[in-house]
Each structure stands twice: as C-alpha cells, then as structure tokens.
Amino acid sequence: MNRPGRRTALLTAGLAFFLSACQIGRDALFIVTNDTTETVVVTWNGMEYATLPPGRSKQISLSSEVCTATSPPADDLRAVSARGKHYAYGRRACNGETWRVGSTPVSPPPS
C-alpha cells in the first residue's frame, strides 16, 4: 500500500536535494573583494555598485556573452577608500575573475 504522505515526503526530499545541487559556482561569478583596511565604495561605469567594509565581498553573475564578444566595451570599475585612495580594475569584468581591491596599483583620481 502506498500512502500519499510517504510519496509527498520523498518528493520533497528529492526536490530539496536537487535545489541544493544547483548553486552557482565561483567560475560563474565576478567577485569584488575589499583587501584594504578601510571601507571602500565601488563604482561600475559611474554608478555605485557596492560599499564594502574591509574583508567583505560582493559577487555578480554576468551574461556569458560579456567576455566572448569580439570587441566588448570596457568596464570602468573603480573604488575609493574612506581616506580618498583610488583604485581601478583596469580591464573587462568576466565571470570566474576576482578583483581584490587593494592588491592592485593605486590609480590617479578620475578627471
């Protein structure tokens, strides 16, 4: 005899297992990490993207076509610390990459 309650429990357990296996991997994300000792404000193409305290990160999954286009437009990723130190990513943002703010050279302030 099959009881409806048992079937529902098995389906629920199977669905929970399936959904937990569908997490996005690091290779499908672009990650910005603050490696400085100050809070930084990160801008992306002139718009505020994130405010990151030291050691914190923010991640985004970009369209897969972003890095495969023959001449993709350049991203303008910048960060400014609380004391006014400027950082720039300097290349196209792609999934699978991490920008570690503070481990890149300091850039001059934008003009």
* Structural domains of the chain ordered from first start: 25-101 (2.60.40)
SS3 category, 100: strand
Q: What percent of the chain has pLDDT over 70?
A: 62
The answer to whether 52 touches 91, Cβ cutoff 8 Å, is: no
Mean pLDDT of 16-31: 63
What does the alpha-carbon distance between residue 35 and residue 6 come to, in Å, rounded to a whole number?
A: 50
What are 81-94's pLDDT values in tens digits? 999 999 998 888 88
What per-residue confidence (pLDDT) applies to 90? 81
What does the alpha-carbon distance between residue 71 and residue 29 come to, in Å, rounded to a whole number?
A: 21
Q: What is the pTM of this model?
A: 0.68
The answer to whether 74 touches 92, Cβ cutoff 8 Å, is: yes
